[in-house]
Each structure stands twice: as structure tokens, then as C-alpha cells.
Amino acid sequence: MKNFDKKRYKGNRYYRYMLKSRSFLNKSGVLNSGKWIYYGIIIGTISAFGAALLVNAINYTNGLLLSGVVGYKGNELEPLIFLPGAKKWLILVIPALGALLAGIISVKLAPDTKGHGTDSVIKCFHKGGGNMKIMTPIVKIISTTLVIGSGGSAGREGPIAQIGAGFASFMGRRLKVTAKDRRIMLISGAGAGISALFGAPLGGAIFAIEVLYRNHDMESEALIPSLFSSIVAFSVFRTFFGEAHLFNIANVSFHTVYELVPYIILGISCFLVGVLYIKIFNRIRAEFARMKINEIFKPALGGFLVGAMALFLPQILAGGYGYIQMALDGELSLKLMLALIIGKILATSLTIGSGGSGGVFAPSLFIGAMLGGSIGGVMQQIFPAEWISSSSVFVVVGMGGFFAGVARVPLSSLFMVSEMTRGYELLVPMMFVSSISFLLNRKPYTLYEEQAKSIIDSPAHKGDFETDILENIKVSDVKTEKDVIKIPRRMTLDNVI
């Protein structure tokens, strides 16, 4: 109503009741909380369809290039099997070609899509006010499809985090929300995308608020919005695109304190190999940054080097989930798993460090799985059988413990790996190994260079910890011990002195 007369209704009890109700809802925060239900439904739904688009695009490109051109059976979730008459030498060309096309698109349209997208989301949260260009998620889908679909050694976690965050940021700008709410929407979108893609709603939500900081801090204000968006994304993805279940493991369990002894060795190993991984990753990225060649061609060079490695060790291509499953099933030899640890570290560093689009989560799981499988196999020869039920237990625990250390996310690592493997019985040993890996990394080394040390160090929270001491002091409350000397307006400085 244009001509609403407030005075006319002042005596109306229904009007007074409406005002009191609105006041109560505002003070209690119900109205403010309710908006996150609305935002969460939209963010979760868009992120779920974005995840489905990314998965299908990668699988289609993988089948078109690696299966169709090179000649092998399998996809990112299955082991690679070369078919009779396969042109193995084309492995040299295909990853380089995919990375070249991705490089052209990224450099020309959205340079912030280069590398692993999670770092871009973290930077956008801390330094960008939650603003991400709408072209970023669109270009990220295309560039990631080309890199991983052609065999680049990278994962889907970083890209889907950036895709979900990008669409959520765009939504925040359209709705003209505050910078604080836009940042919350940004990380809610990131968590929702991960939750849908990996079938880990709790882990994805916690990851989004935990990965922002290197130490023990979390973005606690975003917890409920992130959880709600993640639940919606997980449910929508599962309803329309089937159950997102990556790994299958046999019945495993944890029984006695004696079982913790070999896990101490695994925890220390996760820390040591994790530091090696981060140092190699950062060194290769720095070398590519110093190269005086066009940015477009750097990913192609990285792709070519990965292809050269794949001629001798094809298991390093793409995400490698199929080989993680083989490690869980005990089908990989100790020698091969040790070779794959080094091979995957180098291949991932070359793919992403050169500017290729992809994430570090899947490669980290791969390295942790191979490390856990290797140590589990050795421990079975050393310790009593009742201390180690199966080497597959070490594979699962290694995945969680390794990623907890290299990404500085001890909690979300536990939840994500547990949800992806359904290995909830291994939470205790995984907590133990993750704690060792995390605590030994005191520097700390991390794959995400944009992580803030703590909430206090984040530009997004500048001013949150400052107290205005004059804010609650009235002028009338300020007392002077002696009479105030008034200075005439026209008096010169010499006369004042």
C-alpha cells in the first residue's frame, strides 16, 4: 500500500502485535537465520548441477581423448587398461594438447582459474570481499575438463570448490548482500560443490570453513550456512545423478591400544612425505613462474612432461581413484606403490605448478593411500597379526592422515575420507595419525599458500578485534581536573604559547 497511514493503525491490536512480533524476530535473529535457508537451497542446487556437469564433461573428454585416441579402457574411477593396438606414444601428446587448450582459455578469459581453485577461493575470501567474476566458474569447468580429461594429474576438489563459490558469489552480488554475507555465501558454495561431488556433506562443509586458516581457526559463523548448502547439494546430486560413492572397503575395525603402535610410524611418514610433496610442488611452481615463455604454453609444457612420465608409469594420469581402490583391495605390489608415491608427487606438481587447472585433494589421497598401503604391507611383516588386521586399513588411514597434514585440515580430512570410504570404524586411528601429521608440521608447510595464519591475520576480519574505547563514553561523563582554558578563534600561535 502506497498510502499506508501508521497513525491510523496505532490503536489496532493486530498492528501492535505485528510490530512486536517483527521486533522479536529481529532481536532473536530468526529473520537473519531464515535467509540462509533460502540462500542455501539456491546455492546447494546450483552447486549440485555444477558438480554433475563437471563430472560428465570430464568423463566424456576422457573417453574421447584417452580411450578413443590413445586406446585404453577405463575412466578416472577405474584402473587404466591398454587395449590391443593402443597408440601408447600418443600419451606424450594428449595431456600437452589438453593443457594447451586450457591455457589459452584461462589466460584469455579468466587468469584466476589457473592452478588449483581452492587457493583462489581462499584469496577471494580474505582479500577480495567474497567477489568472484561470473566468468571464473564457467571457464573453470572448461579448463578443468580439458586438463583432467586429457590425463593431467589433478583432482576435481579445487575446481568444484571454485565453481560452487563463483556461482554463490555472483548470487550474492545480484542480491546486493553485505560483504560479510557474500563471503559466507562464497565458502558455502565451495563446501556445497565438494559435498555433492564426493558424497561427503559433513566433510565438505567443514572443509570450506577450515581450509581458510593454517592454524586451528575456523570460520565458525559460516558453519550452519555451509552445512545447510552442503546438505542440499548432496541431496540434489544423489537424487538426480545417483549415489556418489567413490570407494568400497571390506569390514574393518579398531580394537586395542596395541594397534596404535604401527600408526605412529604411519603418522611420522605422512609428515615427512607431506613436507617433501609441498617442497617439490612449490619448487616446480616457482620454476615455471620464472620461465620467460608465454603463460599460454606453460601448462602445455607441464602436460608434455607428465605424458613422458606416463609412458613408463601410466597410473599417475588423472585422479587415479581406480588405483586407490586397487590399493584398498590389496592388488598393488609394494614396489609399485613406492614408485607411484614419487611419480604422483612429480606429475601433480608439473600439472598444477605449470598453471594447469585441477585440484590437489585427489592427488593427496592417492599419495596417502600408496604411502599407507606401503607401510601397512611392511608392518604386517614386523608386528603381530592381531595388531594389523589388513593393509587396507592403512590405506584408508593414510589417505586421511596425509591430507590433514599437507592441507592443514585435520577435522575435515577425517570426515571426508570416512564418508567417501564408509570407514567410520577407523575414525580413532585416523584421528591419531592426522594429529601426528598435523602437529609435527610446526612451520607449517601447506599446499594452500593463500591460507591466513589465523582469524586475526585475515584481512576479512580487519577491525573485528579492535575496540573503540570512546564508543561507550559520553561527553558529559568526561571530567576535567581544572578549568578549561578557552582560546579565542583569532588568537595567533605565538600568543597561545
| pLDDT at position 484 over 80 | no
Q: Give residue 168's pLDDT.
A: 93
Selection from 497, 451, 412 nearest residue 203 by Cα: 412
Find all residues with CB under 8 Å of 345, minimum gap 6, and list them.
276, 277, 280, 281, 367
Residue 82 backbone phi and psi in degrees, to 5? -70, 135
Domain boundaries, the chain: 30-241, 257-440
Average pLDDT, the chain: 84
CA distance 487 to 497: 11
CA distance 107 to 453: 30
Q: Give residue 80's pLDDT.
A: 66
* Arch. (CATH architecture) of 257-440: Orthogonal Bundle (1.10)
C-beta of residue 398 within 8 angstroms of C-beta of residue 426: no
Give the pLDDT band of residue 320 (cuts 50, 70, 90): confident
C-beta of residue 144 within 8 angstroms of C-beta of residue 156: yes
Which segment of 75-89, 218-232, 433-447 scores lowest on mean pLDDT?
75-89
Shared fold status for 30-241 and 257-440? yes
Selection from 358, 409, 426 nearest residue 205 by Cα: 409
| pLDDT at position 497 over 90 | no
Give the pLDDT band of residue 9 (cuts 50, 70, 90): very low
Report pLDDT digits (tens) over 322-377.
889 888 888 888 999 999 999 999 999 999 998 888 888 889 999 999 999 999 88
**Superfamily of domain covering 30-241:** Clc chloride channel (1.10.3080.10)
Q: In Å, how far are 336, 373, 375, 399 from 388, measured between CA atoms? A: 21, 12, 11, 17
| pLDDT at position 165 over 80 | yes
Selection from 391, 405, 398, 394 nearest residue 366 by Cα: 398
